[in-house]
Amino acid sequence: MKILRHLLLLCLILTLAACASNGITTPPPKIDPATQAVDTYRIGVDDQLQITVWQNPDLSTSVPVRPDGKITAPLIGDVMAGGKTPEEVAAEIKDKLKAYVRDPQVAVILTALRSHEYLSRVRVTGAVRTPVSLPYRQGMTVLDAVLAAGGTTEFAAPDRTELYREDGKGVTTPYAVRLDKVLQQGDLATNYPVQPGDVITVPLRAF
């Protein structure tokens, strides 16, 4: 019995080694790109940011984003924040601080979202009763925006609704929204949280 177990173990080891030598690897788990995009917020004008530099309280501060999209950080001066994520701003501040601080640890937290009042809006177009341009507010979803537009018309094809989002680099990506399921069945799987600048389009159905 022991010999049999040893033989089985040896076969398993040889099989794994052969797979490794042939470049066979376990594929990484798939990530829904729509979910990734929905979870990313880009900083806008007049947003309030808290900059924290670990063990350097003199370099930590709370600052608003100016109309030119920049913030002023202690020691390093102006940093572009508009259109970036808090993580991207933290990385840039860290890079600039390296000239003055050894291995700086920087965190940037969005403490007040204010830019939606006059800069960031969500637009609903197509076969809705009242196409609108809405001020973005935290927690707003596709359904909220469509209802604010008066809902869909009798000529709409809600199953072909699209959410269009620009990634900050000029690339616009569409995400399919099954608005028919959201409205009629309460299926919220595609009732995505919206982001500033999103455009939701409800097409007309084919006759």
State the burial class of residue 138 (Cβ atoms within 10 Å of its Cβ: 0-12, 13-18, 19+). Answer: exposed
What does each C-alpha distance from 115 to 66, 72, 127, 175 come to in angstroms?
10, 17, 28, 24
pLDDT of residue 10: 53
Q: Are residues 164 and 184 in the same domain?
A: yes
Give the whole-angstrom CA distance, residue 48 versus residue 62. 7
Q: Are residues 128 and 192 in the same domain?
A: yes
Residue 139: inside a domain: yes
Q: What is the CATH number of the domain that holds 107?
A: 3.30.1950.10
- Contact (CB, 8 A) for 38 and 188: no
Residue 4: inside a domain: no
Residue 152: inside a domain: yes
Q: Which of 99, 117, 135 represents a domain boundary (last residue)?
A: 117
> Which residues span the domain enclosing 62?
37-117
Q: Are residues 140 and 161 in the same domain?
A: yes
Residue 18: inside a domain: no
Give the chain's domain count: 2
- State the amino acid at position 116 in one-letter form: H
Q: What is the CATH number of the domain that holds 184?
A: 3.10.560.10
Give the whole-angstrom CA distance, residue 140 versus residue 137. 6
pLDDT of residue 45: 80
Q: Are residues 197 and 125 in the same domain?
A: yes
Which string of DSSP letters, residue by residue, matches 42-73?
Answer: ---TT-EEEEEETT-GGG-EEEEPPTTSEEEE
Q: What is the pLDDT of residues 102-111, one digit of tens each?
A: 999 999 998 8
What does each C-alpha distance from 29 to 26, 32, 180 come to in angstroms?
9, 10, 29
Mean pLDDT by 10 residues, the chain (207 residues): 51 51 42 44 85 93 89 93 92 95 93 63 92 87 96 94 84 93 93 91 85
- State the amino acid at position 128 in one-letter form: V
pTM, rounded to two decimals? 0.47
Give the whole-angstrom CA distance, residue 112 versus residue 115. 9
Q: Are residues 110 and 46 in the same domain?
A: yes
